Amino acid sequence: MQNVVLFGPPGAGKGTQSALIIEKFHLIHLSTGDLLRSEIAAQSPLGIQAKSLMDAGILVPDAVVIGMIASRLEAHPEAQGFIFDGFPRTIAQAEALDELLAGYHSKISRMISLVVPEQELKQRLMLRGKALGRSDDNEETILKRIHEYQEKTLPVAGYYKASDKYFEISGVGTVEEIFGRISQLLETPTI
Ligand code: AP5
Ligand code: MG
C-alpha cells in the first residue's frame, strides 16, 4: 500500500498533481479542502462552521478535519493507497493520521513537498480567483493562508523528515514536468 502526503503552500499545485497521480498510480485522493468545500455546498452544520474560517484563510479545527479523514478511510477498505492533499497541516493532524493508519496496519510511505516561490504562488492564486472565483483566492486571504502555512504547517515537514519520509521537488515548470518528477519518486520502491 502506497500512502503519500502531497505537501506544499497554497497554490503549490497539490490539487493539480493529485489528479494526475491518482490516475497513474491508482490511489484515492483525499483533499480536506475539497471535502470542506463539499460540506459548504451542502450547507451542512460542519460546512457552515468551516466557511467563515476558510474565507478568512484560517485553518479549521484539527478535530473537524481528522474526523473527515477517519470517515473517508473507513469508506474505502478496497483502496490500494491514498494521496493526502492539504492534510496533515498541523503536527496534531500528522500524529492522528499515523494512529488512524496504524488501525489499518498501514502507514505513510512518503511526503512529497512541492517548492514554489511565494511570488509565483500569489500570481497563480490571483489568476485562479479571477477564473474560478474560489472565495479564498483574494489578496488578503491568500496572504493569510501563506502565513498560516508558515506558522502552523511548515513544522509538519520536520515530522516526516525525522522518519526519513520527506522528499522535496521543485514545483515550478509545466504541470507535465512536475508530474514527471513526482512519478520518478513514486516509482522508486520505499524501504
Ligand atoms: P485547500 O483547499 O487545501 O487550499 P490550499 O492549501 O490553500 O491550496 P490550494 O488548493 O489553493 O492550492 P494547491 O496546492 O492545491 O494548488 P492547485 O493545484 O489548486 O484549503 C483551503 C482552506 O480549507 C484552508 O485555508 C483551511 O481553512 C481549510 N483546510 C483545508 N485543509 C485543512 C486542514 N487539514 N486543516 C485545517 N484546515 C484545513 O494550483 C493552484 C493554481 O495554480 C491553479 O489555478 C492551477 O491551475 C495553477 N497551477 C498548478 N500547477 C501549475 C504550474 N505548474 N504552473 C502554473 N500554474 C499552475
Ligand atoms: Mg488544492
Considering every ligand atom, which ligand is closest to the CA of 8? 1
User: What pLDDT score was predicted for residue 93?
Assistant: 98
What is the grid cell recorded at 14? 497539490
DSSP 43-59: T-HHHHHHHHHHHHTPP
pLDDT at position 49: 93
Query: Separation of 104 CA from ligand 2 center, angstroms?
Result: 26
Q: Do the bridges between strand 166-170 and strand 82-85 make them parallel or antiparallel, or are there none, so unpaired?
A: unpaired
Would you state the pLDDT for residue 191? 64
Cis status, amide bond into 45, omega within 30 of 0: no
Whether 170 contacts 115, CB under 8 Å: yes
- Residue of 7, 20, 32, 132 to mutate, ligand 1, most atoms within 8 A of C-beta: 32
Whole-number Å distance between alpha carbons of 111 and 83: 10
Q: What pLDDT, on a 0 to 100 scale, did the predictor assign at position 1? A: 83
Class for domain 2-27+79-186, per CATH? Answer: alpha beta
For the question of residue 14 being annotated catalytic, the response is yes
Take residue 179 and report the three cell numbers written for it. 508530474
Is any ligand 1 atom within 6 A of the Cβ of residue 6? no
Could you tell me the sign of the dihedral formed by the alpha carbons of 115, 120, 122, 124, in that order? negative
Which residue among 72, 89, 124, 165 is the active-site one? Answer: 89
Compute the Cα dihedral for 29, 67, 91, 2 and give only its sign.
Answer: negative
pLDDT tens digits, the chain, 191 residues: what are they? 899 999 999 999 999 999 999 999 999 999 999 999 999 999 999 999 999 999 999 999 999 999 999 999 999 999 999 999 999 999 999 999 999 999 999 999 999 999 999 999 999 999 999 999 999 999 999 999 999 999 999 999 999 999 999 999 999 999 999 999 999 999 998 76
Q: Is residue 37 annotated as a catalytic residue, yes or no?
A: no
The rounded radius of gyration (Å) of the Cα atoms in the chain is 16
Decide whether any atom of ligand 1 lies within 6 Å of the 9 Cβ. no
Output the CA 146–ligand 1 centroid distance in Å: 11
Residues within 5 Å of ion ligand 2 by Cβ?
14-15
Active site residue 72: no
Q: Residue 50: which residues within 8 A CB-CB, separation 6 or more?
A: 36, 39, 40, 60, 64
